[in-house]
Amino acid sequence: MRSTISIFLLVLFCCCCSWSSAKLFDDELRELTEFLRLQMRCGYSDRGVPILAPAQAAYREINTKTENFGCQGNFTELLVEGLDSFDFARLEWNNILHTIKFDINFAKLDVTSDNYKLDLLGRLFGADLSLWGDGEFALKLTNFRGVGSFVIRPNSLTSGVHIKSWKVDWSVGEVTSQTTGIMNSRMYTKFVNAFVKDYLELLINDNPTEISQFMEELIVPSVNEVLQYISWYEITAIILGLADGILPVEPIC
């Protein structure tokens, strides 16, 4: 199952490239964000994009590790709500360097799962932290923001394109957790749910390199899996306005 955030960025990329101007602000930006919001409720089957508002997955595995953070396990009946709560403060396409720069904020993201099984490893104030959980998962991120850029290049191994030079910093305003089943203990569950707010806020906001690496491992491979089927000629034609009918001009359900 492709990452829901990665699929969202694919929609962002396709729509961004449909404007030949270098920057999108004011009315054009508002029109773009409203188009994305509506299309996310419909999906885009021609590009393999499922419905994203809300996004659902019957089963999803996760296995990622950075220097100071690791997460391995799976989610059953995973639901992500709020991907359509975004706003852009910046969105630029450089047609010479083939670079997209953006500043995006999600007002709220609610991530829930009927059942999860996770092993977590982290580091806080120089000490190792190891936890496991098996129960119902409920996590809310308020004002989850990504600021940065990435480059699009032809893929020499396929007929498509791929992302490289991923440089995105992430931050969060507030974290809320109501997860159950932590260490199979009510005491641990109550403690961790109270603690996870400060821990995740500190982890995300004070470890930009680690979180950027984590999000890159989560997002980029899934996006590249889809982009390998989009040719460089097709992308160029869209950017230069030489092709009609590749992208919808209004939301389609």
Which range (28-32, 37-41, 43-47, 181-185) has the least confidence? 28-32
Is the pLDDT score of 247 beyond 70? no
Distance CA 76, CA 64 (A): 18
pLDDT in tens, 45-93: 776 678 888 989 899 998 877 776 778 999 999 999 999 998 888 877 7
Is the pLDDT score of 164 beyond 60? yes
Stretch 139-161: mean pLDDT:
88
Q: Give the predicted TM-score (pTM) of the model.
A: 0.74
pLDDT at 154: 84
How would you classify the pairing of strands 55-65 and 99-124? Answer: unpaired
Distance CA 25, CA 105 (A): 15
Is the pLDDT score of 213 beyond 70? yes
Within 10 A of 173 (CB to CB), how many other CB atoms are there?
15
Among 55-59, 93-97, 111-115, 216-220, the range of highest mean pLDDT: 111-115
Q: Find tokens 């569950």 and name the residue.
A: 189
Token readout for 74 is 């799976």
Stretch 119-135: mean pLDDT:
79
Token readout for 11 is 């929609």
Nearest to 163 by CA among 127, 203, 215: 215
Q: What are the beta bridge partners of residue 61?
A: 74
Provide the phi-psi class of 43: left if phi over 0, else alpha when psi is between -120 and 50, else beta.
left
pLDDT at 238: 55
Stretch 236-247: mean pLDDT:
52
Is the pLDDT score of 218 beyond 70? yes
Is the pLDDT score of 174 beyond 80? yes
Q: What is the largest CA-CA distance in the chain?
A: 62
Indicate the SS3 state at residue 140. Answer: strand
Within 10 A of 157 (CB to CB), how many other CB atoms are there?
8
Residue 215 CB-half CA count within 13 A = 23
Is the pLDDT score of 11 beyond 70? no
120-to-112, 128, 130, 141, 201 alpha-carbon distances in Å: 17, 11, 6, 18, 16
Stretch 153-173: mean pLDDT:
86
CATH number for region 25-240: 3.15.10.30
Domain boundaries, the chain: 25-240
Q: Find tokens 């600021």 and name the residue.
A: 147
pLDDT at 133: 92
Residue 51 CB-half CA count within 13 A = 9
Is the pLDDT score of 145 beyond 90? yes
Give the length of the chain. 253
Residue type, 169: D
Mean of the per-residue pLDDT values for the chain?
79
